[in-house]
Structure 1
């Protein structure tokens, strides 16, 4: 009944990779897709691979992680990586050349270009390189996670007469990976030179008097998921900052080398990093495709990019009118990125500037290092308002930014708490308390996505603004729970993980199943980023077997096998990959004459239900509920361009009309923006 989670994650990346293959996608966007897949694979190895590597080295044959599971996973990744580089070399590079865009290899440079590259090397690169010859006094150096390095085999003797034949050259991260050659040496087109090519061409300059007989660029990926025993930590922030210093040197899980790397050098590196041979990836090109994203920015040719999308001001917010006045009349829904995140910023800005606003409380998960929203919270403190920020320090790969924000807010007098020991605070909520006459009134914001201005332009999310007394009272109760760590209050509208969100979702599914068994109308449509929780999947299977019709729109990993005869006949699963990353979580249940619709910060994963603070909330306004059904569920069930369907064999089939079909995101862009903005509208950032 259940598919393998790691293989499902890789299958998602196969779907993203497909957009890099498509010739109807603008050229620079195809490269961006390719880089996104590489970035996703980096994170996959950093988070998911260590257990597989450990099992393979121990020769495990039983349990969740075995030598066989590692080999199967490696085969799938090797296949995907080989196709990535084949696409890059055989399709993208020639296509770029047709537009006068080339990354010029050393052998293809003119004499004048070689002189310029040499001068650049001497001036900008050579002073930052430290070649290390290996001997008993110079052991193999610490190599940082995902950094660019060279291994060199030398002939001859060093200055002390010793034949130390192996040397390592570490390339600093501060150096740009692509450099555009000036017009004087590249008058025709946009010509670039890669940093690895510059270093490669001058390796012998780093070892005067020695002959370089073999060399290869290499890159090691390390396990990077921070693990802390929070019960034994006195100061979580201090412990995390110390842990970040060691993240770059965790267990090695993958080794990438040039395709021409000799067996001698690759075996030497595998031994140094204590890796099995299947963890070695020989690549025909740069060992870090992610860095090629820089080419998109350096070229920046509008003809090779999607036409820009400009988010509209939220339709339900009247410009120039107090947002809090409007919320007293009705709830407001903002559908990002089709509508602008500026609506939320305007709400917070109004609260900061309003002398009657006394308290602002907010959860902070991923805001980015440069955040207007955080600046507004700081301004609120300076204006004398009580500000409480629940900062999640353990937001993966955003730990440092969040630590910095926590310290900055604390330094000016904000009340900063770090959530609950052992849990991540993933719920997204903002609560404003205002004095109105003799009473206090609350205004709240709940969201399926992060308080991040950048990702608000790239991710589909729903923002929900409300002055509903029960909802905002529940929000205040949750904030107090997070600060005091007392038992959570009895909530009237919100569902809270890890306390009862999981159980309530299962109950909703079971109620639909019971309605189906009685011959009543029974329907579930759920949209999320991942589905991996076994209890929820078992409940869905049972409801489907009782006759409920179930549609699941799952962007990423889905472990529930669909359309399996006799098991999941009534369950359909689809994934939509579009220009924007699908991020909304919407859960619809119909049991007989009863309909429920919930928005949530949580995916249906065990970690979200049991190891995170998450929220789900009902949408009861009939107009808003129908809008969500139309835009987030029906549109995606009708998508026959950007959708993939999970078949009974556990693999995904492409949409029926991948070029000229009806894409849900396309339809929403038409609904929210001018038709002219859709000229070359193909799927984009995944």
Structure 2
């Protein structure tokens, strides 16, 4: 053990060679997403879904991360990342990696998926492939439904180049004046308020031996082949599709403002048009003169252009997943009612509103023991929403406090909070207005809640409130008892069906006291420098995590066993990575389950040979944060909202809680072991930064961790 101590002192663990680049690591994550669209084992509609997710992910990546790097270049900021790259070098590397990746996605869709769609009765045609009768039908659709909402814009000295919306799909049109014989440039935006794909009715579909489930064409092709109606008396010579991406991060998230809500509202109004252009997607057929016009007007260069040979904006393929074709989709999953909450419902009877009848008090159940819920395997509505709903209607409940990071339009939790406030309960909600791309929805709900008498706080200056916490204060006889929910995911019923997340219900006094003090910090000025149980960033979380890692190191130094398993979305923080390297050098066995970005390099001799990193990509988005420290047999398990990144640890309010109930702790450890044994959806990170997908060995059964967990929870129905 002395040798390992001497080795750690002679090796500089801050050396850039021991770190992967954050931005490039994210690209590798999106490559794994794309692989699901390429994998022959993936059902067709799921392939289309992953194709769409890959494109949606890239949109956000350009709007935020690439935009951030370009701003650094423009400001001549050459600060090196931990891996030693400048912003300019990162942009160059991104382009080198991403261009072939986008081409791979496009080729897979145009050459493989389109054919597979056709074989399965889903026909996405080009306009030129249609019969005359079908074209006549689409022309009538164009005149009646599309033409009225189009706005052709000619660009000449009297008509300056217009501001174009972020992520908008447009046609660059060249028309010729038959009188002057001069060519003119015009732009037509493809409307987003209409469906992207126009369906052809059954009576115009050809007779076929196989069943036709859907037939149609992209709306932009319908527009393109009817451009004469937009430019009467002009000759349409050619048209070319393009799509642009703008910076879309809000400056108000970083700046002080007298009225944060007003500042964000003002920025939201301009986000669609004001941000600088960071990407231009075009078709290869676009002539040089049209390309040069776009480059000049958008103030970009050739490195910002992505040529797309085929359909632009594959994100819209997500609409095909709404087709009811079970044989082309993953088997449906309906979350179960958590077994301990079965008595809260009358399973055999339903009300006229089709809601399960309650017959037991959820607070009585939590009083017996802490309660763990695991979404989407267990129902969000039957647990988290029920917890808030019962708190709202329970006359013994005095107060409800909770945080909101990402909401949705039909969140029943908000209706319950409004009901609680109207009945006289004290209700306080911390709404994070700076939750990226959910700002507008959060503002709308914040205003509705305020109008209902709820005390709404817009987070803390300089910090995003990302914690997933709820506190219910209840009068029980002569005493007051506090009930808490601490989770890893948002209070959002939609994402709770798609993301894997954990939640802990408890009425432990120490957790109740900690959350009370934390809410006082969030809603007032009661800064709390320490907490009884909770790890809270930016207060004590980083120090506590590093202390837990060092404790495992000490166990190894004392001849005992050191073991860490950590599951999260991203691992970026250099201090924690350095601590993990030191732990590996001391002999601590470390397994990391990291869905997305990982800047740690595993498997380096003398540095990280005791660290293994896997990523799991499946039908559900792995979103839970779960940490296990062996502690020489006195296992400690934690769950919470924080990844190990500088933003989570320095610039956000995050909460991680210890799990003290032995049964729940063991359940969580079992979940981690199931994931580590995955040989279907797991990818192993190599020392060079590449990922290799696991495959069952010969005669070895396939083990999909998500499928195994569904089967486990299915047994409780």
Question: Is this contact kept in 2: 1:524–1:590, CA < 8 A?
Answer: yes
By how many angstroms is 1:155 displaced? 2.3
Q: Which residue of 2 aligns with 1:10?
A: 27
**Separation in 1, partners of 2:601, 2:314:** 33
By how many angstroms is 1:46 displaced? 0.7
Which segment drifts farther, 207-216 or 124-133?
207-216
Q: How does 1:345-424 map to 2 (within 5 A)?
A: 345-424=385-464
| Equivalent position to 1:440, from 480, 490, 499 | 480
By how many angstroms is 1:211 displaced? 2.3
Structure 1 pair 230–26 and aligned structure 2 pair: CA distance change class (3 A): closer
Structure 1 residues 462-492: Cα deviation after superposition (integer angstroms, max 9, x where no partner) = 1100010111111111011111122116411
**Separation in 1, partners of 2:78, 2:454:** 53
Q: Which residue of 1 aligns with 2:154?
A: 133
Q: How does 1:268-283 map to 2 (within 5 A)?
A: 268-283=293-308
**Separation in 1, partners of 2:193, 2:31:** 31
Structure 1 pair 641–163 and aligned structure 2 pair: CA distance change class (3 A): same
Structure 1 pair 229–66 and aligned structure 2 pair: CA distance change class (3 A): closer
Q: Over the residues paired in the alignment, what is the CA RMSD in angstroms? A: 1.9
| 1:175 to 2:169 alignment | no
Q: Which residue of 1 aligns with 2:176?
A: 155
| 1:73 to 2:94 alignment | yes
Q: How does 1:486-635 map to 2 (within 5 A)?
A: 486-488=526-528, 490-631=530-671, 633-635=672-674
Which segment drifts farther, 658-667 or 508-517?
658-667
| Equivalent position to 1:21, from 11, 35, 38 | 38
Structure 1 pair 62–523 and aligned structure 2 pair: CA distance change class (3 A): closer
By how many angstroms is 1:564 displaced? 1.2
Q: Which residue of 2 aligns with 1:641?
A: 680
| 1:326 to 2:365 alignment | yes
**Separation in 2, partners of 1:57, 1:191:** 47
**Separation in 2, partners of 1:615, 1:133:** 54
Structure 1 residues 334-370: Cα deviation after superposition (integer angstroms, max 9, x where no partner) = 1111111121211111111111111010101112122
Question: Is this contact kept in 2: 1:214–1:262, CA < 8 A?
Answer: no
By how many angstroms is 1:304 displaced? 1.2
**Separation in 2, partners of 1:265, 1:23:** 39
Q: Which residue of 2 aligns with 1:654?
A: 693
Question: Is this contact kept in 2: 1:432–1:442, CA < 8 A?
Answer: yes
Secondary structure of the 1:184 match is: helix
Q: Which residue of 2 aligns with 1:145?
A: 166
**Separation in 2, partners of 1:475, 1:58:** 42
By how many angstroms is 1:248 displaced? 1.1
**Separation in 1, partners of 2:206, 2:493:** 39
Structure 1 pair 479–56 and aligned structure 2 pair: CA distance change class (3 A): closer
By how many angstroms is 1:512 displaced? 0.8
Secondary structure of the 1:268 match is: helix
Structure 1 pair 357–20 and aligned structure 2 pair: CA distance change class (3 A): same
**Separation in 2, partners of 1:389, 1:236:** 16
**Separation in 2, partners of 1:591, 1:359:** 38
Q: Which residue of 2 aligns with 1:458?
A: 498
Normalised by the length of structure 1, the TM-score is 0.95
Secondary structure of the 1:208 match is: coil
Question: Is this contact kept in 2: 1:53–1:275, CA < 8 A?
Answer: no
Q: Which residue of 2 aligns with 1:255?
A: 280
Secondary structure of the 1:287 match is: coil
Question: Is this contact kept in 2: 1:481–1:489, CA < 8 A?
Answer: no
Question: Is this contact kept in 2: 1:514–1:543, CA < 8 A?
Answer: no
**Separation in 2, partners of 1:555, 1:62:** 27
By how many angstroms is 1:55 displaced? 6.1
Secondary structure of the 1:369 match is: coil
**Separation in 2, partners of 1:166, 1:116:** 29
Secondary structure of the 1:228 match is: helix
| 1:304 to 2:328 alignment | yes
Gaps of 5+ in 1: 678-686
Secondary structure of the 2:341 match is: coil
Structure 1 pair 498–488 and aligned structure 2 pair: CA distance change class (3 A): same
Question: Is this contact kept in 2: 1:317–1:332, CA < 8 A?
Answer: no
**Separation in 2, partners of 1:543, 1:34:** 39
Q: Which residue of 2 aligns with 1:315?
A: 339
| Equivalent position to 2:70, from 53, 64, 89 | 53
By how many angstroms is 1:57 displaced? 6.8
Gaps of 5+ in 2: 1-17, 345-359
Q: Which residue of 1 aligns with 2:350?
A: none
Secondary structure of the 1:476 match is: helix
Question: Is this contact kept in 1: 2:529–2:539, CA < 8 A?
Answer: no
Secondary structure of the 2:203 match is: coil
Question: Is this contact kept in 2: 1:331–1:466, CA < 8 A?
Answer: yes
Q: Which residue of 2 aligns with 1:31?
A: 48
Structure 1 pair 166–660 and aligned structure 2 pair: CA distance change class (3 A): farther
**Separation in 1, partners of 2:392, 2:702:** 46
Secondary structure of the 1:378 match is: helix
Instruction: Tell me the number of residue pairs that the alignment of Structure 1 and Structure 2 aligns.
Output: 672
Normalised by the length of structure 2, the TM-score is 0.91
